[in-house]
Amino acid sequence: MLQLPLWSYWTLLQFISTWSFIVLLLENRFSSYAQNTRWLLLATLSGILLAIGFPTSPLTPIMFIGFVPILMIERELSQLKEGPSKAILFRYSYHAFVVWNIFTTFWVGNTAYIGGVVAILTNSLFMTVPIVLFHQTGKSLRKTLAPAAFIAYWLAWEYLHLNWEISWPWLTLGNSFAQYPSWVQWYEYTGAFGGSLWILLVNVLVAKWLISEEGKVFSFDKINLLKIVGIILLPILFSLGMYYTYEDQGPLSEVVVVQPNFEPHYEKFNIPQRDQLEQFLSLSKGALTERTDYLVFPETSLGVFYNKNIGKERYTRTLKELVAEYPALNLVTGLITRRIFEKGEQALHTPATRTYIDKERRDTIYWELYNTAVQISAETDSIPIYFKSKQVPGAEMMPYPQLFFFLKPLADKLGGSLSGHGKQKERTAFKSSVGGVGPMICYESVYGEYATGYVRHGANALFIITNDGWWDNTPGHLQHLKFASLRAIETRRAIARSANTGISCFINQRGDILQATNYGEATAISGKIPMNNTYTFYVKWGDVIGRVAVFLTLLLLLNSFVKSKMKT
């Protein structure tokens, strides 16, 4: 099979060189002030600091000063007596966030180049909103409240970014600590928003420590420096205490995870299914024992199948035969499935429903496509099914298709459609005599509060099934892997992770990654994971910090609106 070379880091080089050319070309248009070059360098520095503080870089503490250069620019612009400071701040902050997005998520372009460009430019645009809002409303607030407004605006934006259809929360600040899960064991109370709040608070304090009322850098205040160091170190020390005293909870279950390693660009969807199935069977039989409770295959392992035929057609029937050879085995696997609606089922149609004109029958067929997880069990003939519901914008769904109908050509280019894939409202936990497992499909593992839905529906452990080879061997698949550690801490659920191409592993309830496979390796691993049935505070209450930030943002914006009206 002819294979073109993968892009690897070439997209990073191209994105950086293109953006550098654009910035140099437009340098004099950022502002006409004498500080233009200095501000541009500060904005660039902010983007670089945020990038090198984000996984997979080991320099996570840099995140505590990543916003400081941007806050310095904002402070100096707020001292200007005249001029469109909002527009100027937007340009510098947008540049900073483009730099951050390029260095940390350039690999999106390896899946779809245009999609990568859109993701970087759009996400950077959204990131400027809390900065500009802070600048605009800060003048109507007391100086002691203005820094709190910046924190509230950014957290509210992160919360929105998790919950609307144009969702790309990869760079949520709290995800930074995925590099060192032992530092954030208290995520079982706060979730990743606790880490975001921590980073923002320290950045604000450092900026206040460095910048005088006139916007100029002045000599260091040792007392305030000690306060900042304390705010950084105390949560880490508290977390390390939790980390070294925490013990996994729940009875052990033996799990086998399969990594078939079919390269997605050229192999996965071109190799005959029977050949892929043989790979799965061979790897599985080499690792299964009579004591194995679960066998885990990755996302979209096989397909496309009709939902009602799962377990009846030859491929999934072969999987049932495999499971039947072992007395207590449950197979959790990803599939591509579809459903054809019967006559009279119009009420069941969703925005993802597609149409097909059957010219021979002179009839319109209504159908949906799903990224699916199923459990095939030796205990029962019933096959529970789950449809991936947190979908990748552009590739699996078009956000707000009624509004963005003109983007249909781009959606088609990304392999998606305006209709997208079908999904379901609630999470599903696959049950067995051993317990319940939450089948998280790929992108869903980036969402903390979303993951708690599996636990509330009875999941004693989480299974992440994914296909990370789309990004090639770049930081993308490593970031995705490390984010799973945060989900383990938030829910105190052990994780079995099966990647088609990427890294498969087990993750304990402290977030430690165990038995990690190599990238590009076809293998199967076996391990024992605990099945926990207790709820953490975060499982019960979710992203409280984000919701409080939204409430405070509304109050702050209302305050600013009322004061502006009182002046007129």
pLDDT digits (tens, 9 = 90+) for 441-457: 999 999 999 999 999 99
Mean pLDDT across 347-361: 83
CA 271 vs. chain centroid, Å, equals 29
Q: Is the pLDDT of residue 212 over 80?
A: no
Weakest-pLDDT range from 176-185, 201-210, 414-423, 514-523: 414-423
* 279 and 220 fall within a common domain: no
Q: Is residue 345 part of a domain?
A: no
Please give the pLDDT value at position 419: 67
3 state SS of 374 = strand
Please enumerate in sequence order all residues whose Cβ is within 8 A of that of 294, keeping only pairs 6 or more positions apart, or say none: 253, 254, 255, 256, 329, 330, 331, 332, 434, 437, 463, 496
Q: Is the pLDDT of residue 156 over 50?
A: yes
Residues across the chain:
568
* 267 and 119 fall within a common domain: no
Q: Is the pLDDT of residue 522 over 60?
A: yes
pTM: 0.93
Instruction: Identify which of 49, 10, 43 has the alpha carbon closest to the alpha carbon of residue 27.
Output: 43
Q: Is residue 270 part of a domain?
A: yes
3 state SS of 554 = helix
Q: How many Å apart are CA 60 and CA 376, to the nearest integer?
A: 41
Q: Is the pLDDT of residue 413 over 60?
A: no
To the nearest 10 degrees (0 to 180), the angle between helices 192-210 and 146-163 is 150
* 115 and 200 fall within a common domain: yes
* 239 and 260 fall within a common domain: no
* 239 and 269 fall within a common domain: no
Q: Which residue has the tokens 């076996």?
A: 526
* DSSP-assigned letter for residue 175: G
- Say if residues 259 and 517 touch (Cβ distance below 8 Å): yes
Range of the domain at 416: 390-423
Provide long-range contacts, Cβ within 8 A and 24+ apart, for 225-231: 228/202, 231/198, 231/201, 231/202, 231/205
Q: Is the pLDDT of residue 211 over 80?
A: no
Q: Is the pLDDT of residue 216 over 70?
A: no
What CATH number is given to the structural domain containing 526?
Answer: 3.60.110.10
Q: How many Å apart are CA 237 and CA 163, to the nearest integer?
A: 32
What is the pLDDT confidence band of residue 206, given thresholds at 50, 70 and 90?
very high
Q: Is residue 363 part of a domain?
A: no
Q: Is residue 359 part of a domain?
A: no
Please give the pLDDT value at position 359: 74
What is the pLDDT confidence band of residue 1, given thresholds at 50, 70 and 90?
very low
What is the pLDDT confidence band of residue 137, given thresholds at 50, 70 and 90?
confident
Burial, 461: exposed, middle or buried (Cβ in 10 Å; 0-12, 13-18, 19+)? buried
Please give the pLDDT value at position 415: 46
CA 64 vs. chain centroid, Å, equals 21
Q: Is the pLDDT of residue 142 over 90?
A: no
Q: Is residue 1 part of a domain?
A: no
Q: How many Å apart are CA 567 and CA 251, to the nearest integer?
A: 65
What is the pLDDT confidence band of residue 505, given thresholds at 50, 70 and 90?
very high
More confident residue, 40 or 140: 40
* 411 and 435 fall within a common domain: no
What is the pLDDT confidence band of residue 397, given thresholds at 50, 70 and 90?
confident
Q: Is residue 414 part of a domain?
A: yes
Q: How many Å apart are CA 286 and CA 545, to the nearest integer?
A: 46
How many domains are there within the chain?
Answer: 3
* 167 and 316 fall within a common domain: no
SS (H, E, C) 40-109: HHHHHHHHHHHHHCCCCCCCHHHHHHCCHHHHHHHHHHHCCCCCCHHHHHHHHHHHHHHHHHHHHHHHHH
Mean pLDDT across 359-370: 85
Q: Hey, what amino acid is at 553?
A: T
| Average of per-residue pLDDT values in the chain | 91
Q: Is residue 340 part of a domain?
A: no
Q: Is the pLDDT of residue 519 over 80?
A: yes
Q: Is the pLDDT of residue 300 over 90?
A: yes
To the nearest 10 degrees (0 to 180), the angle between helices 113-138 and 544-567 is 50
* 310 and 436 fall within a common domain: yes
Please enumerate in sequence order all residues whose Cβ is within 8 A of that of 566, keeping only pairs 6 or more positions apart, or say none: none
Residue 212: C-alpha distances to residues 132, 139, 146, 200, 533 (Å):
21, 16, 15, 19, 52
Q: pLDDT tens digit string along 64-120?
A: 999 999 999 999 898 876 656 889 999 999 999 999 999 999 999 999 899 899 999
What is the pLDDT confidence band of residue 127, given thresholds at 50, 70 and 90?
very high
**Cα–Cα–Cα angle for 319, 325, 331, rounded to 5 degrees:** 40
To the nearest 10 degrees (0 to 180), the angle between helices 192-210 and 544-567 is 50
**In this structure, what token pair is assigned to residue 566?**
């009182």
Q: How many Å apart are CA 310 and CA 318, to the nearest integer?
A: 11
**Cα–Cα–Cα angle for 293, 294, 295, rounded to 5 degrees:** 135
What is the pLDDT confidence band of residue 396, given thresholds at 50, 70 and 90?
confident
Q: Are strands 252-259 and 294-296 parallel, antiparallel or unpaired?
A: parallel
What is the pLDDT confidence band of residue 138, given thresholds at 50, 70 and 90?
confident
Residues of the chain above pLDDT 70, percent: 94
* 125 and 196 fall within a common domain: yes
* 203 and 259 fall within a common domain: no
Highest-confidence segment of 250-259, 360-369, 389-398? 250-259
Q: Are strands 363-377 and 330-340 parallel, antiparallel or unpaired?
A: antiparallel
Q: pLDDT tens digit string along 23-51?
A: 999 999 898 888 999 999 999 999 999 99
Q: How many Å apart are CA 314 and CA 19, to the nearest integer?
A: 51
Q: How many Å apart are CA 540 and CA 432, to the nearest integer?
A: 24
* 434 and 563 fall within a common domain: no
Please give the pLDDT value at position 374: 97
Q: Is residue 353 part of a domain?
A: no
Instruction: Identify which of 133, 132, 53 has the alpha carbon closest to the alpha carbon of residue 92.
Output: 132
Weakest-pLDDT range from 225-229, 256-260, 416-420, 521-525: 416-420
Please give the pLDDT value at position 411: 55
**In this structure, what token pair is assigned to residue 116?**
């990568």
* 497 and 517 fall within a common domain: yes
- Say if residues 300 and 396 touch (Cβ distance below 8 Å): no
Please give the pLDDT value at position 78: 86
Mean pLDDT across 175-188: 98
Q: Is the pLDDT of residue 299 over 90?
A: yes
